Structure 1
Amino acid sequence: MPTPTTLATSEARTRLHELTVIDVRTPGEYAGGHLPGALNIPLDQIQRALPDIRHAAERGDVLVVCASGARSENACRILADNHIATATLSGGTGAWAADGHDLHRPQGATRAAWGMERQVRLTAGTVVLIGLLLGLLIHPAFQILSAAIAAGLAFSALTDTCGMAAMLAKLPHNRPHAADLDNTLAELRNR
């Protein structure tokens, strides 16, 4: 089974012309800015795209990216389990932009979407605050909301997964348009 490698932004920038770049973020995040030439295949669609990603990997190196590197590492593990060799971008698109490299936006994209990690922090913090306030003002049992979020965050850290991010990814603002996976996969096959 192939082990995923990690590319620094400088190495990825130098090799960008020879890489097939797959961005596993939500369509909303992708629209907010992505590596030049990246194809959007959201993490929850990776299984469906396996044959086409395998085909791309047989023709050259595949680089998987996300906002920070966590989701792309998960995608790389899925791909490695299916005997597809890939690399991930160290620090994701955040590190790419911080190093001064351009992010491309689809035509018509007018606003930058909040990153998934920021959305998770807002949602978790809001639910914890509501649980505490309702627990103080109405009934102590509402503090179970805060405890549930704390348990979920601890589980997320231990397993390097995030159920809240998976749920938030399905909200309409994270999918301003459905990922056109069929066209993306056709483009991947033709590269």
Structure 2
Amino acid sequence: MTTLNTTHAVESAPESIDASTLKTWEDNHDDLMVIDVRSGAEFDAVHINGSYHVPLAMLSEHTEEFAAKLGTRVVLVCQSGNRAEQARKHLDAVGLAGASVLAGGVPAYAAAGGNVVRGRGPWALERQVRMTAGSLVLASILAAKFVSPKLGLVAGGIGAGLTFSAATNSCAMGQALSKMPWNRPANEPTAHQALWNLDAKA
């Protein structure tokens, strides 16, 4: 993979910052770019005012293109920090080492009194994962008792999947749910639109 020349990046930027630090940066740095890597539905439900929407899957597929558009001070945000950390690693792999991750994600920023834009949308992706996993486990336990004991293996499979998810800091179920119709609103940007929005900032 081609490595970018990223002399424009802030070398001293920490890998993770808290909500208070981000609020301070907003007040003191005109070059700040906040990149939200959540799903379109999550972004529509609530997002940091002035942030740019670049879903993680899109950033992963077009990492070099987005890295070339990012400015001198970049903060990656999601719902908890996990997806933002994945995005940071993708950018770091192509030479953009100056990006920071917002610890606690958008909820932590909102709780700290940050300026957010609220709309209407489905549950946050992490909440959808908990509901889906919990429902599958409950259903498999009931099915094992009343239908066939073999159906209890489903609960074991879900448990193994959650354990693997925690160990690898990834979530296959979350990625699958993010592609569901209710998580992909009509106004979700294309890669071209997202790149154009970043150009407009410059």
Is TM > 0.5 for Structure 1 vs Structure 2? yes
Alpha-carbon displacement from aligned partner over 1:46-79 (angstroms, at most 9, x marks no partner): 133323432233x311111001111101111111
Are the equivalent residues in 1 in contact too, given 2:60–2:87 (CA < 8 A)?
Answer: no
- Report the alpha carbon displacement of residue 183 of structure 1 after superposing the two structures with TM: 1.5
Superposition CA RMSD, Å: 1.8
Query: Would you say the 8 A contact 1:66–1:92 is kept in 2?
Result: yes
For the 8 Å contact 1:66–1:72, the answer to whether it is kept is yes
Q: Distance in 1 between matches of 2:166 and 2:110?
A: 25
Q: 1:20 to 1:61 in 2, by over 3 A?
A: same
Change (3 A) 1:34 1:96: same
Residues 1:96 and 2:109 aligned together: yes
Range that drifts further, 16-25 or 175-184: 175-184
Counterpart in the other structure of 1:7: 17
- Matched with 2:128 is 119
Which segments of structure 1 move beyond 2 Å, counting only runs of 4 or more?
1-4, 47-53
Scaled by the length of structure 2, the TM-score of the pair is 0.86
1:190 is aligned to: 200
Residue of structure 2 equivalent to 1:73? 85
Equivalent position amino acid for 2:130 in 1: R
The equivalent position to 1:84 in structure 2, one of 96, 105, 111, is 96
Alignment of 1:25-174 (within 5 A): 25-57=38-70, 59-85=71-97, 86-105=99-118, 109=119, 111-174=120-183
Q: Which runs of 5+ in 2 are unaligned?
A: 4-10
Identity level (%): 34
Secondary structure of the corresponding residue to residue 129 of structure 1: helix
2:199, 2:61 → 1: CA distance? Answer: 14
Shift in CA distance, 28/123, structure 1 to aligned 2, threshold 3 Å: same
The total of aligned residue pairs comes to 186
* In structure 2, C-alpha distance between the alignment counterparts of 1:15 and 1:90, rounded to whole Å: 15
* Contact 1:52–1:188 (CA under 8 A) maintained in structure 2: no
> For the Cα contact (< 8 Å) 1:24–1:64, is it kept in 2?
yes
Indicate conservation of the 8 Å contact 2:81/2:101, yes or no. yes
- How much has 1:42 moved relative to structure 2? 0.8
Q: Which amino acid aligns with 1:89?
A: L
1:146 deviates by 0.5
**Runs of 5+ unmatched residues, structure 1:** none
